[in-house]
Amino acid sequence: MHDQTAAIIVIGNEILSGKVADTNATFLTQELRRLGVTLKRILVIPDELDAIAEAVRAYQPAVDVVFTSGGVGPTHDDVTIAGIALGLGRRVVRHPFLEEKIREFSGDTVNAARLKMAEVPEGAELIFGGQLNFPTLRAENIYILPGIPELFRDKFSAIKERFAVDPYFLRVIYLCAFESSIAGYLNDTLAVFPDLQLGSYPKLDDPEYQVRVTLESKDQNYLNRAFADLMARLPAECIVRTE
């Protein structure tokens, strides 16, 4: 089964100070799952050069694809490009194509802040697509996305097909039992199906069920056999329904 791993780095003081709730990581998490990509980390850091560089150094070699969100605007707190360049050991350069576009758009009002948006880590690729004229930047395996949720979604949707790999298959069992009463059955199934991704999630005060058990694999046949194995072990009176 073909797999691909990813990490998301959200850059933004506004998230860490609770002024804005993140929606980009939540959106991207669900999109990546649908594409069959395995998300290994989500990290939220401040708009600080060293924090960005450190995150890039940690994740860029460790996963197949890194996505950053935020910090790519024209103001003092937009230091994502410089932070990624620092982390990759590249220079920050003004990209001729972006500079031309910005000068065209700005005319007489061109200024340092606008031209800052032409800056890229040296050697970055421009990826065109989406409803916006402005391209998405890629430096090595890092895709640099804007923090504004509408733009983030537009940009990612325009490039997402390139990340598609074999999908995950999911089965769910809803149970009326204490988690601690069924833990042994889960362990028994895992002993037979060690590659199964098995999750157990208690729910409080739900009239329908107490525990939601999720079974996942990229191998549908393996998943079905593991599901049948667990169902045969669980006391029938505990099973509310399955999906």
Residues binding a copy of itself (CB under 8 A) = 13-22, 26, 29-30, 32-34, 39-46, 73-77, 109, 111-114, 116-117, 148, 150-151, 168, 179-184, 186-187, 190, 197-205, 214, 216
Which of residues 38 and 90 has its CB atom nearest to a copy of itself in the complex?
Answer: 38
Distance CA 204, CA 168 (A): 28
What is the nearest approach in angstroms of a copy of itself to the Cβ of residue 15? 7
Which of residues 143 and 152 has its CB atom nearest to a copy of itself in the complex?
Answer: 152
What is the nearest approach in angstroms of a copy of itself to the Cβ of residue 111? 7
What is the nearest approach in angstroms of a copy of itself to the Cβ of residue 92? 17
> Within 13 Å, how many C-alpha atoms sit on residue 135's CB side?
16
Which of residues 21 and 236 has its CB atom nearest to a copy of itself in the complex?
Answer: 21
What is the nearest approach in angstroms of a copy of itself to the Cβ of residue 123? 25
Secondary structure element (H or E) that encloses residue 241, with its range: strand 239-242
Q: What is the DSSP string of 8-30?
A: EEEE-HHHHTTSS---HHHHHHH
Determine how many CB atoms are found less than 10 A away from the CB of residue 37. Answer: 24
Which of residues 161 and 205 has its CB atom nearest to a copy of itself in the complex?
Answer: 205
What is the nearest approach in angstroms of a copy of itself to the Cβ of residue 237? 15
Q: What is the DSSP string of 65-124?
A: EEEEES--SSSTT--HHHHHHHHHT--EEE-HHHHHHHHHHHGGG--HHHHHTTEEETTP
Determine how many CB atoms are found less than 10 A away from the CB of residue 59. Answer: 24
Which of residues 75 and 97 has its CB atom nearest to a copy of itself in the complex?
Answer: 75
